[in-house]
Structures are given as structure tokens and as C-alpha cells.
Amino acid sequence: MAHKIAVIGATNQTGREVLTVIDERNIPVEKLYAVDINSQFGQEVSYGEDGIITVEKLESFDFSKVDVVINASGSAKAQDIAEKSKSAGARLIDISSAYRMDPDTPLIVPDVNGSSIKNETIIASPNCMVTGITAALKPLHDIAGLNRIHAVTYQSVSGVGKDAMDELFNQTRAVFVADPIEPNLFPKQIAFNVIPQIGKFMDDRQTSEEFAIKAETKKILGTKIKVTATAVRVPVFVGHSAALHLDFDKEISALDALEALRQTRGITVIDLENEELEYITPQEVQGEDDVYVSRIREDSGSENGLCLWVSLDNIHRGLAVNAVQILELL
């Protein structure tokens, strides 16, 4: 079925990536609209190899022209977008955090729980780190039953946006020419540093990002699973990674995990190359559709434990591909 689609936030990093993925995956499109909150008159975005779309303003956009809306603009206008989509009879795929923990809204990673989509008006796409974690852990959970997840995440600056990438670049240059550094978007210097804070601190001392990783993972994989997280911002432009330490209800070996993951769509396992153990880094996953898993090993400190390393392109795979895969299910 060919859809009439509006991508809201089409001029930002995530919105542009959504347009790219719609083209790359050959989504049947009857009509595609690029919409943004602060678009300037005549502003255009590219689509495909040669296509150009004129950006329309959100405040004047007629939602009755579409049957699917993809919100890549963030949470600020999410409720307004949801109300206008519903009134027009369009289904909303919301990439923002606004509806992720709404009990009436499914939180979807298609290869994990896509079958749970019914006839909901709003479908939420999760935190980009959660997309990678849940995609990697679902096949292991199916065979051995996850009991506990401890995640330490290493998240790139692109998770904050283009201005954050510029800040990392400018700070890196400042270090080499001995210029003073004044942090702006980050609480401390990000160049040549790591910052163990993503989001705001909460009353229980965890950050809002750590809470999101915990809550969204449980909503997708199962509320009985115990989840803890430490989220760290690292001086990488694109690509999120996580070191996962896992406890299972049943015995599971590293070889069991390797076999299950190799048979899972959307997962690429990096393990033995020419009889040498190999692994993946965030630099190598940029622009890739898959979630990459490496460093799979048994945890000697746990009876039924495994450790592994997950990497993905946070904007491309974590947000854009996930949203478009949801679109493919509608």
C-alpha cells in the first residue's frame, strides 16, 4: 500500500535521515510532505538522488492530506501533532520521548515486538540506545529468560544534535591551539573527555537518560526484568555503544548466544575473523542498518551470566530505520 506521508522535523538531523531511509528502503509513497516548525519560506530538503521537497510550515499544514505522520521534531510539539493527526484520521509514528511511557501507546522495535501493533493512533519509537539494546537481547531472552540487565552506555554527541557535534569539533580544535574552552551544551568539556551524565539528575541520583533506558527496556522486553544503567557521553560524533552484563533464568553459553544472534534479522555478529577475536566500534557502524554485537563471553561471576558489546548508528539505525520499519508494518 502506498502511503501519503508527512515527515515533521524534516530539516533536522533525524528528519533528514528519515527521508533518506524512506528512499533507501523503497517505501511505496503516493505523496511525501516535508514539514517543520520553523521552516523559512522556500526552504527545501533533498529526497533520493535527485528529488527536492519544499518544506511546509507545521502551523499551516493540512493533516488531512496524509494517512501517516512521522514526528521527528522532538517533544515540544508532540501533543499538538498527535491531536492534529488523530483529528485527520492519520496514524502517528512518534520518534520523540513524549509518548514512550504512555500506557496506552505501544513502544515498538519492529523486530522485537512489532506484532503488538494493533489499530493504535499513536505508535512510539524508543530511545535510540534502547533500540539497540532490545534488538540484541530479544533472541537471548527468548531462549534463556533475562533476569537482570546492567548496561553501561557510551553515547555519541549526535544524540544531542548538530550543535553538539559542532561543540565537540570546536573544543577539539581549541585544545590543539591552546584556546580556552567554555562548555555550552554539555556540563563539562567533552573533547578528550567522558561525561558520566546524560540528561538531568533525578531525586534518586540517576539521570533522566538512565531512567529512560531502564523504563523503556522493561516496557519492550518485560516488566519483571531488573534493569540498571549508567549512561556516559563520549567524544564520538556518531554511534552509540553499550557494555551489557546479563543474568538469565536458564543456563546459556556464549556459543548459544552467538548462534541465536547470528540467526536474528537485523543483527550482525562480529566474532572470529581468521581465527582471531574481532569486535566492532561506533566508527564502523555509521550508516549501517543493523545492530552490531561483539565481545560475547560468559560471565564467570554469575551462574547464568553473559557479557557483550553492542554498537549502532544512533541516528540512522536507532531512530530513522526503526521509525521506517514501523511504517512498513502499517
Cα gap 59→61, rounded to integer Å: 6
Q: Rounded to the nearest 5 degrees, what angle is found at the Cα of 99, between the Cα atoms of 97 and 103?
A: 135
Candidate list 3, 141, 240, 316, residue with the active-site label = 240
Nearest to 326 by CA among 177, 105, 147: 105
CB 137 within 8 A of CB 146: yes
Residue 212, helix vs strand vs coil: helix
Give the active site residue among 128, 141, 307, 316.
128
Q: Would you state the cell numbers that stand for residue 41, as one nine-digit string?
A: 519560506
Cell of 238: 556518531
> Considering only CA atoms, which of 216, 220, 238 is closest in space to residue 97?
216
> Does the annotation mark 307 as catalytic?
no
**Burial zone of 173 (CB within 10 Å; 0-12 exposed, 13-18 middle, 19+ buried):** exposed
Q: What share of the chain is helix, strand, coil (3-state, %, to 5)?
A: 35, 25, 40
316 is catalytic: no
Which set of grid coordinates corresponds to residue 248?
A: 538469565
**Which of the residues are catalytic?**
128, 240
